[in-house]
Structure 1
Amino acid sequence: MKQFRKPHLAVLVAAAMALAGCADDGKDGAPGEPGTPGEPGPGTPPPTVEMTEMTNVKVLNFAVEEGQVVYEIEVTDQDGTLVVGLDAVEGKFASWTERGYVLSRSGEGTLGGYGNLSTEGAVLEMGEPGQYTFTLPMANVTPGEEGLLWLRVGASDGPIMRSKPMVVNKPENTHSSTTAACNACHVDYATSSLKHPSYSAIDMEGEGDLVGGCLICHNSVSRADENGGYATNTLSKIAHVNHPENGFERDFSVLNCATCHETTPINTSIAGPGCVDCHNPGAAVGPISPNADPNFDIRAIHGQKIALAEIDTLRTTHKTTLSAPYWDAAVAWEGGGTGAICTDLKLFKVEGETETQLDIGALYADHTLVYASAYIHAYDSETDSLIGRPSPFNAQQYVARDDGTRAICYPSLAAADGSYGTQYSVANLVASSRLTFAQTGWVDDDGKDGVSFTNYSDVVSTDYFDGVAAPSFTKESGFERRLAVTNDSCVSCHNSETNYHKNGGYQNGGVDCLACHNNGQNRASKFSGPGFGPMVHSMHWGEGNTKLSEDGTPNSASKLNAENCVTCHADGIDLYAIPNRYMLSRAYNEGGDSKVMSSPVTANCYACHTSDSAMNHMTQNGGEINVVADPMWFTTPTAESCATCHAEGKSFGIEKFHVFER
């Protein structure tokens, strides 16, 4: 929310008066000098209002005194006009103690305080128009006491609407979690459907302070403790315990502390705030043991338990390369026959500028590696899309080369579904590989341990499908794939670096997933959604979300605001950039014919918007779900016209209904 400062206010007031045609002729000048055009004459009061659509607060001064807190504030409406007649204001103060922030409700040992105009002794006085002094009694505060000071004015039922809560003062270095870290997932808590979003606070500069706004009630100490705080759940318990226990997100680890803590936590005592949540659940919160050593990072200790340092070392000191598909006439097959289409997978150890090739076969034999294989895909160069996998499943042979290269070879290329064989004769080819290091204690849902590397080869054209005995392969381009998410969008939530399945990871915006979840693979994906985009949308917020939970209820990903698309799409969405080609959509046809296709924008939207009215709207504008598939579906234009109205900037642009800005 923008907080108007006096220079801005003066401009707004002058502009409003001029537009209304009632601007004053200006002040009288000194004798013999002209007046100042546009400025009110002597004694002319500034314009004021008694009702607001939005209320803004500027804190002019504040003081923590003996038994009371005093706020001096200026209140304006949405246009910067001064507000008179304010009759609702509330304040809170959480004391900073050896146990962290504490705002007690009542009882012996009470700390901090809170109240409003109904509090005995509370006084609200207006001096100059729009400027108020609010004196709030707090029996237990002392002069100059450090703590978290909070303010809100107005009422939810008007006429002066309730302002956003404001963190007026917060001592430095009192917490190491950040609002930005929270917003990586929540984006804008104030617009969510979670608990009391209206308490999302701003700071004195008008910037969001979600952490400060939560801490004022969800203190460092539970209300259940002796001399405890305001709420039963502390903010650290919400983060450390409630997130994981509620199934916050698949492959989220609370031990990856850096997800929320940009700097090392200030407390190092396992009995103190934060640590006690996990190390002694239910115990009373003890004093903080300050981290006095700037080189001691408690986050690293937790990271060791999920081998974060080892994972990072593996990723930064190794790389893989993958050759384009080629013909090897010397490969012999059990049962007879020679000749194969192969791709070469190489693994390198990287030390500075030096790259040393490693022996994949030897590393696989001693279980350093648990997976090293590749697929060959059909590729449409016009749309930069994977359109199927002609390499037969489990038909590969591994050929060890003398330099440690593993060649992954297939005896033939055939359609996964025989009725679609013609698509491959006009397509190019590209290979994808995955290589996985064993990693103790790091397990995916297939029971494998590992740190995975995915690679895509260059794109080649071939005359293989013409039945040539020794086909040729000609490089056409490097591998390209349109990706509408940012490289770190997945790992913002999936922070454990765990493989999802089949040794696939979350790095680089889910590029690992594309080898199996692409427009032409036609997987069921738990019947959630076809391809990559529709599957991700559905798995998080749509039909697939309910099927992730054994009890049939949605997992907590659905608690994230589905409209907050910026969590993944940080650079927005360009509907015109989506290729106007169909995608195979067996996943939307549970129990039915697998030879169906859907138009792409409709397939993505339908992943969340599954009502009959939504589907009718899409079909009336050319969208299609599960129509009989054309064998050349990936070259067939659709009739959907979604971008005409819903592209960004249009009358009903997607950004008007979804959030694409933080």
Structure 2
Amino acid sequence: MKLMSKCRVALLVATALGMSACNDGKDGNDGLPGAPWVPPVVTTSAVAKVMEWQYAEGVVNVEFSVENQDGVPVEDLDKVQLMSTIKNEAGLLADTVDVTWVAGDDNAPGTLTHAGEGIYNLSMPHEAATSESIGTGYIRPGNGENGMPRTKRVMFTKNDYYAQVSTTDDAKCVACHGEFEDATSNATWGWHQHHHAIDNDQEVIIVEACLVCHTQTEQKDGGWAENTMAMLGHGYKYDDDGVIQASGHASLSTSYSMDKYRCSTCHVDDVVFTASLNGCATCHADLQDADKDLTVNHSNFTDLDCATCHNSFQHEHENGANRDEALNRYNFEIISVVRSEDKATIEVTTKATDSEGKVVDINALTDASPNGWATVMRNGEAMLPGRDEGHVARAKTAPIAGENGEVTYIITHALPYVEGEVLVGGVDGRISYTHRWGYPANAPISVSNIKDVRRTSSDGMKCLTCHTEGLDGHGSARGGFDLGGDACTQCHSAYNWAPGKTQDDGTIGDYAMAWGPFVHNMHFGAYKQDRGLNDMPTTDRNMPVDCQACHTGMIDLEDVAPAVVLNGMDESSVYGITAISANCATCHTGDAAKNHMIQQGGDFNVAITPEADIHTGESGDFAVFDPAPITESCSVCHSPARLAEAHNY
């Protein structure tokens, strides 16, 4: 009670005093002004630029500047990393140091001097350095105790000390691997794809940054990393047991991926580099095999010996020159694809010119075997009742010569004429040449009007960013990527029910051959997994799809051709899948996703009945499957904007 009374009394007194202080209704006097102060500089990110740098006896000196995100000079830098790699006596990048200066650490190497206005002079030990050294490297300020995050790696500027290695165009790396600044530590191709650098203009530097660590010399021979840049670029690396294994790019040297002998896929046209045993052996695997009957025995050679014979002229690799000559030997042009006057056949008129633009007599060609093909478009896709379960109809006789070098192929077993029909046709075939190793080879002919008559949501030429020109496919008669993926759509149609390829266990994969589902499937679907194909080179494993690698512009599901996608093992087992669902289900494979598609009109088991009339094709009679189109309602919710947001394009 006493305590309660005391509290109550205190409250009453305080209230009374407070009321008495304000009972005149006036404010009190202002207090004294506070002491002047400068608000602290808050740095959330920073940009560094290399101003000058040079090698000297046992050191590398770098003058650089650092500013924060607001352009304010950073005056309290307390940590900076430097990596530097110097060429050895053989002219190869080999000797590397990775050193970090830390303020207050007596054991930290080197010195850092602040010149004011965010400018610093860094001097770091590099034992192999002399005033005559040539090398490369980068700095990376930040991540100390002052709260400034680390900057990007900033490359040394190109001066008289800089080791310029002109081999690869960074844009070619980006074409397959994606934008390196978007890469995470979980990137699909290379866990440290995010280890790129920048120059003073903040432009991304890739290959030259990689060379700082992945030098031209293996670790066992004095280099920094086990795997040299040549090894990684040509598809080899050491495994955990110290054995060199094929990896990465090596597995891309297949018919439908990358031409191993087309150096320009990655390299610039005018390659400048220093020959080394390590670099050359990545392609010339038996270079130092004493038991091989080589013109010159290299088994006891060292890197110093290479320069004796191999100057810049020896580095002019053929780079697929013979194949390029064949690909460019003749240029075929489609003049028209029309019905004959009696509507019974389709006529494909074409002409060809040589590399000098002169018209050639197609019927007189002995080094090429072009042939015309054509079919009818139905519901936005090519009908394929040809020589077997899924191919276009082809000419069975030589073309008829016309004026001005034009010839006309007659497609005698085309589908019957239908009022208002749209025709697709072209020329494919082979052009023969001699491979650089002496054996006969063929390059494909691929030309058609497919781009004019078929809707697409991607640019087929984007295929060439990862897949090289002139690749073999289907016996070198077609399937080359010279027209990009567009050339493939003439046969990979919704009407192509051809069964999937045979698996290793002898079974046949149940995969739709229509181009959209097929491409999605082989890049990241069941087809890819079952056949052990490579991952798509995305910037993060958690994002298995990089849609913009293939797609261009807006994707509007209302524009999707409503042709039912056929699939089957033989003519008696053909069934259908609605078009949008066939594409989406290659990635969205779960039951919940498929049920959602079904609710929007999708169907994964459309009953298909062949037409009553049998079609007489090139080499037999075939059933014609032409189901009525089915429209799905996906576009009601999945607008182009929502699709773009969900799929990052």
User: For the aligned residues, what is the CA RMSD?
Assistant: 4.2
Is residue 101–residue 147 contact of structure 1 (8 Å, CA) maintained in 2?
no
Residue number in structure 2 paired with 1:274: 279
Residue number in structure 1 paired with 2:589: 610
> Where in structure 2 are the equivalents of 1:299-318 lying within 5 Å?
299=316, 301-304=318-321, 307-316=322-331, 318=332
Match status 1:386 vs 2:381: yes
Residue number in structure 1 paired with 2:631: 637
Residue number in structure 2 paired with 1:573: 553
Q: Which has the higher contact order (CA 8 A, sep 6+)?
A: 2
Is residue 247–residue 556 contact of structure 1 (8 Å, CA) maintained in 2?
no
CA 1:615–1:46 in 2, change beyond 3 Å: closer, same or farther? farther
TM-score, normalised relative to structure 2: 0.70
Residue number in structure 1 paired with 2:458: 485
Q: CA deviation at 1:238?
A: 1.4
What secondary structure is seen at the aligned counterpart in 2 of 1:236? helix
CA 1:493–1:287 in 2, change beyond 3 Å: closer, same or farther? farther
Q: Return the index of the structure with the highest Cα Rg.
A: 2
Residue number in structure 1 paired with 2:352: 348
Q: Paired residue for 2:546, among 533, 541, 564? A: 564
CA 1:259–1:426 in 2, change beyond 3 Å: closer, same or farther? same
What secondary structure is seen at the aligned counterpart in 1 of 2:353? strand
C-alpha distance in 1, partners of 2:546/2:375?
A: 36
C-alpha distance in 2, partners of 1:299/1:617?
A: 57
C-alpha distance in 2, partners of 1:72/1:288?
A: 36
User: Residue deviations 1:546-595, cap 9 Å, x none?
Assistant: 243xxxx33354677644344333xx331227614434234599999643
C-alpha distance in 1, partners of 2:594/2:146?
A: 40
Is residue 345–residue 407 contact of structure 1 (8 Å, CA) maintained in 2?
yes
> Where in structure 2 are the equivalents of 1:212-291 lying within 5 Å?
212-225=208-221, 228-242=222-236, 243-247=248-252, 250-267=256-273, 269=275, 271=276, 274-279=279-284, 285-286=303-304, 289=307
User: Residue deviations 1:474-512, cap 9 Å, x none?
Assistant: xxxx94333333353222322251232262221222221
User: Residue deviations 1:180-206, cap 9 Å, x none?
Assistant: 121121122451332312311112211
CA 1:256–1:71 in 2, change beyond 3 Å: closer, same or farther? same
> Where in structure 2 are the equivalents of 1:37-436 lying within 5 Å?
48-49=41-42, 52=44, 54-80=45-71, 82-83=73-74, 86-97=77-88, 99-104=90-95, 112-117=96-101, 120-124=108-112, 126=114, 128=116, 130-143=118-131, 145-155=133-143, 159-170=147-158, 171=162, 173-190=164-181, 191=183, 192-193=187-188, 194-225=190-221, 228-242=222-236, 243-247=248-252, 250-267=256-273, 269=275, 271=276, 274-279=279-284, 285-286=303-304, 289=307, 298-299=315-316, 301-304=318-321, 307-316=322-331, 318-319=332-333, 321-326=335-340, 340-350=344-354, 352=356, 354-359=358-363, 363=365, 368-370=367-369, 372-380=371-379, 385-390=380-385, 393=388, 398-400=396-398, 403=401, 405=407, 407-411=409-413, 413=415, 428-436=421-429
Is residue 335–residue 351 contact of structure 2 (8 Å, CA) maintained in 1?
yes
Is residue 344–residue 406 contact of structure 1 (8 Å, CA) maintained in 2?
yes
C-alpha distance in 1, partners of 2:122/2:639?
A: 48
CA 1:546–1:427 in 2, change beyond 3 Å: closer, same or farther? farther
C-alpha distance in 1, partners of 2:495/2:66?
A: 59
What secondary structure is seen at the aligned counterpart in 1 of 2:442? coil
Is residue 154–residue 161 contact of structure 1 (8 Å, CA) maintained in 2?
yes
- Identity over the aligned pairs, expressed in percent? 22
Residue number in structure 2 paired with 1:654: 644
- The aligned length equals 538
Q: Paired residue for 1:626, among 583, 604, 614? A: 604
Is residue 168–residue 267 contact of structure 2 (8 Å, CA) maintained in 1?
yes
What secondary structure is seen at the aligned counterpart in 1 of 2:464? coil
C-alpha distance in 2, partners of 1:432/1:157?
A: 69
Is residue 323–residue 435 contact of structure 2 (8 Å, CA) maintained in 1?
no
Q: CA deviation at 1:543?
A: 1.8
Is residue 528–residue 542 contact of structure 1 (8 Å, CA) maintained in 2?
no
- List gaps (5 residues or longer) in structure 1: 1-42, 105-111, 330-339, 415-423, 458-477
Q: Paired residue for 2:515, among 532, 544, 550? A: 532
CA 1:401–1:575 in 2, change beyond 3 Å: closer, same or farther? closer
Q: CA deviation at 1:655?
A: 5.0
C-alpha distance in 1, partners of 2:202/2:140?
A: 13
Is residue 83–residue 212 contact of structure 2 (8 Å, CA) maintained in 1?
yes
CA 1:353–1:264 in 2, change beyond 3 Å: closer, same or farther? closer
Residue number in structure 2 paired with 1:542: 525
- List gaps (5 residues or longer) in structure 2: 1-35, 237-247, 289-298, 502-509, 610-625
C-alpha distance in 2, partners of 1:254/1:373?
A: 30
What secondary structure is seen at the aligned counterpart in 2 of 1:301? coil
User: Residue deviations 1:75-96, cap 9 Å, x none?
Assistant: 3444545556544421111113
Q: CA deviation at 1:540?
A: 1.8
TM-score, normalised relative to structure 1: 0.69
What secondary structure is seen at the aligned counterpart in 1 of 2:171? helix
Is residue 581–residue 633 contact of structure 1 (8 Å, CA) maintained in 2?
no
CA 1:574–1:291 in 2, change beyond 3 Å: closer, same or farther? farther
Is residue 56–residue 77 contact of structure 1 (8 Å, CA) maintained in 2?
yes
What secondary structure is seen at the aligned counterpart in 1 of 2:521? helix
C-alpha distance in 2, partners of 1:49/1:431?
A: 64
Is residue 333–residue 352 contact of structure 2 (8 Å, CA) maintained in 1?
yes
CA 1:91–1:619 in 2, change beyond 3 Å: closer, same or farther? farther
Is residue 371–residue 395 contact of structure 2 (8 Å, CA) maintained in 1?
no
Residue number in structure 2 paired with 1:39: none
C-alpha distance in 2, partners of 1:541/1:524?
A: 19
Is residue 117–residue 123 contact of structure 1 (8 Å, CA) maintained in 2?
yes
